[in-house]
């Protein structure tokens, strides 16, 4: 199945049929990217995603290939030609020796089911760390290795463990632990600053929910009561178990954080004009 779903994609400002999409546009050379959730035909937190795309390019010492208004125009071009209501949209700045490309296209979303929100999902521990955690860079090799482990072990996500045996983040999400009504997560410098993570942290500060930033020792996760992932597609999704350790999926913070995040997301949609 093609990575590009739907009827069209946008390549360097030109609307093209998805049948012409070539994966080499994304995977040859170096690429930085963002995945944005589209709800009711409107992107969520577009400005935040654009700022992180700029930052990713900067960390890689690459030029920003499109300004915010130009990129917004490309997205609107795709949205008007292919009116998807609830889907994920991917933006890629590709730096190939032959040519640089800016690409906007729909990708198949994997949204959790209501049962997964209710009962949680399993995760595995995976020893790996990103070379540049601050930058959202396509790492096809690592992604492929983790994908096969998840399939083999029937897990939903892999939690990355660095050389200090600390859990930093998920392969496609951020991770929080809960103990005594406090949230625990890795320091900002050790993770990709997820947009959902950022807004959850803001919500917690607004609600006086305490957060501790520090090393989460992979050998000591049994001390925590609950754990959850945050991300564009899962939003706030509890872990039922990580490896052989089980967690409470009914902690009161879980539905509260998800609800407050969705309210902020709805507000952000009004800004995309």
State pLDDT tens for residues 198-257: 999 999 999 999 999 999 999 999 999 999 999 999 999 999 999 999 999 999 999 999
Give Dmax over CA atoms of the chain in angstroms. Answer: 55
71 in Cβ contact with 104 (< 8 Å): yes
Question: Regarding the domain delimited by 5-107, which CATH topology (the fold level of the hierarchy) does it fall under?
Answer: D-amino Acid Aminotransferase; Chain A, domain 1 (3.30.470)
Give the CATH number of domain 114-269: 3.20.10.10
pLDDT for position 132? 67
CA-CA-CA-CA torsion sign (167, 148, 172, 28) = positive
33 in Cβ contact with 138 (< 8 Å): yes
What are the pLDDT digits (tens) for 47-67? 999 999 999 999 999 999 999
Half-sphere exposure of 89 (CA within 13 A, CB side): 32
- Around Cβ 122, how many Cβ atoms within 10 Å? 16
Residues 106-122 have a mean pLDDT of 95
What are the pLDDT digits (tens) for 120-158? 999 999 998 776 666 566 677 788 888 899 999 999 999
Q: Where are the domains of the chain?
A: 5-107, 114-269
Residues 25-51 have a mean pLDDT of 95
114-269: same fold as 5-107? no
Give the residue with greater pLDDT, 12 vs 83. Answer: 12
């Amino acid at each position: 199945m093609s990575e590009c779903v739907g009827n069209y994609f946008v390549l360097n400002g030109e609307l093209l049929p998805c049948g012409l999409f070539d994966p080499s546009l994304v995977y040859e050379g170096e690429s930085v990217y963002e995945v944005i959730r589209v709800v009711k035909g409107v992107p969520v937190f577009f400005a935040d995603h654009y700022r992180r795309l700029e930052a990713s390019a900067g960390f890689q010492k690459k030029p920003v290939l499109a300004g915010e208004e130009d990129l917004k125009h490309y997205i609107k071009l795709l949205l008007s030609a292919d009116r998807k209501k609830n889907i994920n949209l991917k933006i890629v700045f590709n730096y190939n020796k032959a040519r640089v490309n800016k690409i906007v296209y729909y990708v198949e979303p994997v949204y959790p089911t209501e049962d997964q929100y209710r009962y949680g999902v399993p995760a595995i521990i995976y020893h790996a760390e990103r070379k540049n955690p601050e930058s959202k860079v396509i790492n096809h090799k690592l992604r492929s290795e983790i994908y096969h482990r998840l399939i083999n072990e029937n897990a939903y996500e892999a939690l990355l463990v660095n050389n200090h045996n600390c859990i930093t983040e998920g392969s496609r999400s951020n991770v929080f632990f809960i103990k005594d009504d406090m949230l625990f997560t890795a320091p900002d410098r050790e993770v990709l600053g997820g947009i959902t993570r950022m807004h959850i942290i803001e919500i917690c500060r607004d609600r006086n929910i305490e957060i501790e930033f520090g090393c989460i020792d992979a050998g000591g996760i049994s001390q925590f009561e609950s754990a959850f992932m945050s991300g564009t597609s899962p939003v706030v999704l509890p872990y039922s178990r990580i490896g052989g350790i089980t967690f409470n999926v009914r902690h009161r913070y879980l539905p509260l954080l998800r609800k407050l995040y969705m309210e902020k997301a709805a507000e952000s949609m009004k800004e995309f004009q």
